[in-house]
Copies of this chain bind each other. A is one copy, B any other.
Amino acid sequence: MKKGAYAVIFSNRLRDPAPGYDDTKDRILALAEIQPGYLGHMAVRDADRMGVTVSYWESEDAIKAWKAQAEHATARRMGREKFYEWFRLEVCRIERFYDFEAGR
C-alpha cells in the first residue's frame, strides 16, 4: 500500500452461530470494491472465529463516504445486532510500508 493512504483495521470475533454473516460479508465486500477510493483489502479469520480485516482507502473522505453508504450502514447495524461478539475498528494513516516476496 502507499504512504498517505488510509488503513481501516477491523478486528472482531463472530458469534456462534452468526446466521446470514457469510452472505452479508460477500455482498459488502463486492460493494466496497466499487466504492470510490477503495484500494484493496486483506481478511483473515481463524478457527476460533477471530477475524481481522484491513481495508485500504485513498483518503479519510473515501472512508466517510463508505461508512455512509446505505447498504453498508444496514450491514453494520446487523453486525452489532447479530454477527459480532465484539469488534474494534481503527482508522489509520499509513506512514511507511515494506513488503517481501520469497525468491523475488
Task: Determine how many copies of this chain the complex contains.
Answer: 2
The contact string, 1 if C-beta is below 8 Å from chain B, for chain A 65-94, is: 000000000000000100011111111111
Question: How large, as a class, is the contact surface on chain A?
Answer: 35 or more
Contact B60 A95 (CB under 8 A): yes
Q: Is the interface of A mostly helix, strand, loop or mixed?
A: strand
Contact B91 A97 (CB under 8 A): yes
Contact A52 B54 (CB under 8 A): yes
The contact string, 1 if C-beta is below 8 Å from chain B, for chain A 35-76, is: 000000010111100111010000010000000000000000
24 contacts between A and B (CB under 8 A): A1-B90, A6-B95, A7-B9, A9-B9, A44-B44, A44-B50, A44-B51, A45-B46, A46-B47, A60-B95, A80-B100, A84-B100, A84-B102, A85-B102, A86-B99, A86-B102, A87-B99, A88-B97, A88-B99, A91-B96, A92-B92, A92-B93, A92-B94, A93-B93
